[in-house]
Amino acid sequence: MNSTDASRSRRRLVVLVSAAVVVLLLVGIGVYGLVAGPRTTSDPPPAPPSPTAPGTTEQGPRDLAPIPETDDPEKFVRAVAEALFGWDTTSGLMPLDYTSVLLKVADPSGVEQAGLASDIAGYLPNRETWVELRKYGTTQRLEITDVFVPEAWAEAESQAQPGQLAPGTTAYTVEGVRHRQGIWNDEATSSAHEVAFTIFLTCPPDGDPCYLLRLSILDQPLR
């Protein structure tokens, strides 16, 4: 083999190896998009509308189970945590529908509602990511492993000014595992990721139902 043939063979080998690397990268990006959502600045193509059977209406927030009323703070926290992490991109609903369920148990005075809505947005996929995850039939749920009042809350209470915290106001830190499932290349795939966060709430001493105040940043809980 002369030097020209050897050079051509090397170039052909480089092209084949490069093509194989590109294929592997594309597969990796696809799976990553399922478990974590796409990281892109361009808008994804709109998803085709789902066919609706005659006589039926599109799903809305009313199709989601409400958070049960309770005056038990731990039960309330568990219900809020499950509602916060439990969603299904194939349901016909959008992130705002899931947000509305949580806002229905928010501070009835409305003082914290805007802040709470912003907190919730930090936990849910945005609209563009939701549309992308829908292509993989992605669903999510939370497996709670521990719920407790953090030691740091006692310090926060001691530093609060008189009347700053309503009677019955407290904080619970939730630890758990976020599970996501979906379909990639016609095969079921899943991921699991440990999470921790703090829920701030008030359970009035008079026995009225607990209500939601704010959420910590995900994975930055009180300890």
What six digits make up the tokens of 181?
């499932």
What percent of the chain has pLDDT above 70?
72
Residue 35 is predicted with a pLDDT of: 32
Residue 52 located in a structural domain: no
- Rounded to an integer, the average pLDDT of 99-109 is 97
Residue 55 located in a structural domain: no
Residue 56 located in a structural domain: no
The residues pairing with 194 across neighbouring beta strands, listed in sequence order, are 177
Examine the domain organization and report whether 27 and 81 are in the same domain: no
Tally the domains of the chain.
2
* CA nearest neighbour of 119 among 219, 217, 221, 198: 217
Examine the domain organization and report whether 80 and 159 are in the same domain: yes
Q: How far apart are CA 102 and CA 83, in angstroms?
A: 7
Examine the domain organization and report whether 73 and 163 are in the same domain: yes
Examine the domain organization and report whether 71 and 131 are in the same domain: yes
Q: Tens digit of pLDDT for each residue in 59-77? A: 444 489 999 999 999 999 9
Does an H or E element contain 14, and which? Answer: helix 3-36
Residue 49 located in a structural domain: no
Indicate the pLDDT class of residue 5, thresholds 50, 70 and 90. Answer: low
Examine the domain organization and report whether 158 and 101 are in the same domain: yes
Q: What's 138's domain CATH number?
A: 3.10.450
Domain carrying residue 23: 1-36
Examine the domain organization and report whether 20 and 95 are in the same domain: no
Examine the domain organization and report whether 156 and 223 are in the same domain: yes
Examine the domain organization and report whether 100 and 172 are in the same domain: yes
Q: How many CB atoms lie within 10 A of CB 159?
A: 8
Residue 180 is predicted with a pLDDT of: 97
Examine the domain organization and report whether 21 and 131 are in the same domain: no
Residue 145 located in a structural domain: yes
- Number of residues that this document lists for the chain: 223
- Rounded to an integer, the average pLDDT of 41-66 is 47
Helix, strand, coil: what percent of the chain each, to 5? 40, 20, 40
Residue 214 located in a structural domain: yes
Kindly report which listed range (71-75, 156-160, 167-171, 219-223) carries the lowest average pLDDT score.
156-160
